[in-house]
Amino acid sequence: MSYRRVLIVEDDESLCRILKRNLAAREIEAACAESVAAALHAVAVARPDLIVLDINLPDRSGWELCRALRARAIEIPKIIVSATRVTPERLAEFKPVAFLPKPFPLEALLRLVVQHEGTTTNAVC
């Protein structure tokens, strides 16, 4: 089982393009958003099954996106990808499917997207 629609919230255009291309090769529809504002719009329009979320974004933090979605009662699983250190408290607060510190192996992310079973694992890879 895999997620079918993934929103990649990442301001690094080349990384977003690579992720999108690799997900498309696995028949997963992927869209990119470069900011929290763009992500909120994309969520409202496309309703993704999963968000791959960077923490450091140009307009606000990825954590603020999580809070905004929570305030709107929108629950979408998230995989956090970040070069920023993430505390156990943050992981406990937002309960992502996984946290991948940058740089991460592409295959690790693809496995998480393609082979999930619909459960939250709070995995740190």
Task: With beta carbons less than 8 A apart as the criterion, state whether 50 and 76 touch.
Answer: yes
With cut-offs at 50, 70 and 90, classify the pLDDT of residue 117. Answer: very low
pLDDT tens digit sequence for 39-54? 999 999 999 999 999 9
Q: pTM for this one?
A: 0.89
50 vs 77: CA distance, rounded Å: 5
For the 5-124 domain, the top CATH level (class) is alpha beta
Closest by CA to 52, choosing from 88, 27, 25, 20, is 20
Q: How confident is the model at residue 109 (pLDDT cuts 50, 70, 90)?
A: very high
